[in-house]
Structures are given as structure tokens and as C-alpha cells.
């Protein structure tokens, strides 16, 4: 039995299915979660399907969440998409279901769940959900296709990052056939507020880059307040250092209201997820996240990026 058949068989056994994703959602988290929810609703109209996990942080053009009571978890199947580690699952009630399925594309560092489908070669979790639907010949609605396409576009930076394969493009092409307005969706994903645009000027002005292409910038609370930006608005800023030809790997340190720093790491070559894991984080080889308790720890992390870049340049 293939993994897609096994997952479908488990789905068929449950009347109620509750789908979760990770905290601080991005388009792939929402796209994979709600794309799957839409597909299950279309194919199993007799089942109760819920998408949960709290605020969608500016991604409401993709989907919004259901609010459900604890008792609905009794006897339910829970599916978590796009979430490598159990502590990052949004809404801890995922533990209350009868069975748990993990579907993800990050390295399988935390193999939680009763049934797992983890494919780190997939560009995005949305690509995996599309693979599931196509392999099992399930009905895909126009809105499900839109959600999955949005997830793929989000995680590949519009098909720019190396995780984009010919298969990714084939899946995206198939999804486009469902007729949703892809140009509008791309605009919605790409659009930034004037405040974020102004802060991107600050980012470029204040980015520190060493001779080996290691870059960093700190966005502390003073700066965030000055530009009227909150943490969830910083997603559009993270890829920007990579547009500079001399930058090889970089960190954007975002101070949280509690005083610690969210560390957002990206790379064009040096593998950075092992570094992220040493600072309470993880992620993909070229896109990871971590946490630093203060600016001294941010500097420590930057020195590690410098060493990775120096090493990489030598090879
Ligand atoms: P971000 O910078 O938050 O967009 O994260 C980039 C990648 O790193 C995503 O694939 C996340 O799933 C992963 N990531 C971010 N923060 C963490 C964390 N604290 N623990 C594990 N993985 C993380």
C-alpha cells in the first residue's frame, strides 16, 4: 500500500477530521492545511472537517480558521501539515484526537504522530497535498487549487528557490487548470504595506556584510515601533538581503515584545539548519528559524554564519 492510500484509508475511517498547522503561519502552512480541508469537504461531504490554529496573521485572503470546542476532539482524526516539531503545532489540542497524522516537507527531526508522510524533497507541504489529491484521484475544487498554489508560490519565493523542481512546476501547472485568478493571488502574496516598504529601506541601509557574504541586520523594538511594524509583517523583509549579489547567507534578528530575538536565517549555499537547531530552532537546509535571548547571542549566531560562509567560500 502506498502512503497516499494508507492516509486515505485512515481518513475514510473517521467521521470528524481536524486539521492543524504551525504557529506564525505562512502561505504554505495555511495553503496545505486549508487546501487539504477543502479537498476533504468536497470528497466526503458527510464528514465534519475543521481547520484550526488561531489567527492567520494577515493571510485571511487565503482562509480563516474554525473555532471549535474541546469535546469535538473525542474520537476525531487529527492531521497536522507543514510542521516539523510538535512544540510548533498551533493549538495544543492536537493531542486530544484518537489518531494523529503528520504530513510535512521539513527534515523529520521530530517524528510525531501515528502515521507520517514526510518528504523533504518537496518544495512545500502544499505540493505534497496536491500529490496526495492527484495520486488518489480526489476532486480538487477551484479554491483548494488556489490554496495549494498559494502555498507553493509562498515557499518557493515564486519558483525562485532551489527546492523548486520540475515536479513542482508540473504540480503548479496542473493546479492552474482549475481556473482561479493566479495573478491576483500572486499580487496578494507579494503585496507589502507602505510601512514595510519603508522598513526595507532601513534594512538595506543597515545590513552588515562581511567579506565572505555573511550578512545580518537587527530589527529591535525601537525600530519596529518607529516604522509601525509588528513581527508578523517582517516576513516580506527576510528574503531581501539575498537580492544583493555579495550576500551568501544571512540573519534577520527581530526583537519580540518579551525581549528575546526571533532569528530568521536564509542561505544561498551554506547549510544553516544545523546552526538553527543549536539555538532552539530548525528548518530547511537553506531557510531556518531560531531564537536568541539577547543581542550577545545574536552576535554569537552571526559569528557562526560568518564561519559557515568562510568555509563555503574555501570549497
Ligand atoms: P521563518 O524564518 O520563520 O520563515 O522560518 C523559516 C523556516 O524555519 C521554516 O521552514 C520554519 O518551519 C523553520 N523554523 C522557524 N522557526 C523555527 C523554530 N523555532 N523551530 C523549528 N523550526 C523553525
> Ligand 1 pocket, 287 CB below 6 A?
yes
Span from the CA of 33 to the centroid of ligand 1 (angstroms):
17
> Ligand 1 pocket, 264 CB below 6 A?
yes
64-115 tens-digit pLDDT: 999 999 999 999 999 999 999 999 999 999 999 999 999 999 999 999 999 9
Ligand 1: residue of 289, 290, 293 to mutate (most ligand atoms within 8 A of CB) is 289
222-237 tens-digit pLDDT: 999 999 999 989 999 9
Quick one: which H or E segment has residue 52? none
Asked if 81 contacts 106 with a C-beta cutoff of 8 angstroms, the reply is no
Quick one: which H or E segment has residue 247? none
Asked if 179 contacts 60 with a C-beta cutoff of 8 angstroms, the reply is no
Closest C-alpha to ligand 1, atom 22: 282
Average pLDDT of the chain? 97
What distance in Å separates the CA atoms of residue 24 and residue 90, rounded to the nearest whole number? 8
Identify each DSSP E strand in 105-232 by its residue range. Answer: 115-118, 208-209, 214-219
Asked if 286 contacts 161 with a C-beta cutoff of 8 angstroms, the reply is yes
Look-up of cell digits 510538535? 86
Span from the CA of 1 to the centroid of ligand 1 (angstroms):
32
Asked if 81 contacts 60 with a C-beta cutoff of 8 angstroms, the reply is no
9-44 tens-digit pLDDT: 999 999 999 999 999 999 999 999 999 999 999 999
Asked if 292 contacts 280 with a C-beta cutoff of 8 angstroms, the reply is no
What distance in Å separates the CA atoms of residue 50 and residue 38, rounded to the nearest whole number? 10
Ligand 1: residue of 288, 290, 292, 305 to mutate (most ligand atoms within 8 A of CB) is 288
> Ligand 1 pocket, 284 CB below 6 A?
yes
What distance in Å separates the CA atoms of residue 173 and residue 250, rounded to the nearest whole number? 32
Asked if 298 contacts 275 with a C-beta cutoff of 8 angstroms, the reply is no
Burial of 314 (0-12, 13-18, 19+ CB in 10 A): exposed
> Ligand 1 pocket, 213 CB below 6 A?
no
Whole-prediction pTM value? Answer: 0.94
Look-up of cell digits 458527510? 46
Amino acid at each position: 500500500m502506498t502512503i497516499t492510500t494508507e492516509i486515505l484509508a485512515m481518513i475514510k475511517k473517521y467521521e470528524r477530521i481536524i486539521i492543524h498547522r504551525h504557529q506564525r503561519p505562512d502561505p504554505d502552512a495555511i495553503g496545505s492545511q486549508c487546501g487539504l480541508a477543502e479537498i476533504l469537504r468536497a470528497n466526503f461531504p458527510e464528514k465534519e472537517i475543521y481547520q484550526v490554529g488561531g489567527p492567520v496573521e494577515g493571510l485571511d485572503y487565503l482562509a480563516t480558521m474554525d473555532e471549535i470546542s474541546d469535546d469535538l476532539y473525542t474520537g476525531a482524526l487529527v492531521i497536522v501539515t507543514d510542521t516539523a516539531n510538535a512544540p510548533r503545532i498551533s493549538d495544543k489540542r492536537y493531542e486530544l484526537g484518537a489518531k494523529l497524522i503528520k504530513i510535512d516537507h521539513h527534515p523529520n527531526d521530530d517524528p510525531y504522530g501515528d502515521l507520517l508522510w514526510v518528504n523533504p524533497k518537496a518544495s512545500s507541504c502544499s505540493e505534497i497535498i496536491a500529490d496526495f489529491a492527484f495520486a488518489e484521484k480526489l476532486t480538487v475544487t477551484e479554491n483548494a487549487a488556489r490554496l495549494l498554489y498559494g502555498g507553493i508560490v509562498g515557499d518557493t519565493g515564486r519558483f525562485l528557490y532551489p527546492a523548486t523542481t520540475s515536479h513542482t512546476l508540473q504540480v503548479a501547472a496542473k493546479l492552474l487548470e482549475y481556473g482561479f485568478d493566479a495573478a491576483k493571488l500572486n499580487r496578494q502574496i507579494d503585496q507589502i504595506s507602505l510601512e514595510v516598504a519603508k522598513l526595507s529601506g532601513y534594512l538595506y541601509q543597515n545590513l552588515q556584510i562581511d567579506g565572505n557574504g555573511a550578512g545580518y541586520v537587527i530589527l529591535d523594538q525601537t525600530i519596529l515601533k518607529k516604522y509601525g511594524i509588528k513581527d508578523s509583517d517582517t516576513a516580506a523583509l527576510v528574503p531581501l538581503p539575498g537580492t544583493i549579489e555579495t550576500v551568501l547567507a544571512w540573519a534577520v534578528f527581530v526583537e519580540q515584545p518579551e525581549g528575546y530575538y526571533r532569528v530568521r536565517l536564509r542561505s544561498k549555499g551554506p547549510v544553516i539548519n544545523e546552526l538553527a537547531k543549536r539555538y532552539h530552532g530548525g528548518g530547511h537546509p537553506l531557510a531556518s528559524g531560531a531564537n536568541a535571548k539577547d543581542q550577545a547571542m545574536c552576535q554569537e549566531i552571526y559569528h557562526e554564519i560568518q564561519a559557515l560562509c568562510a568555509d563555503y567560500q574555501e570549497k
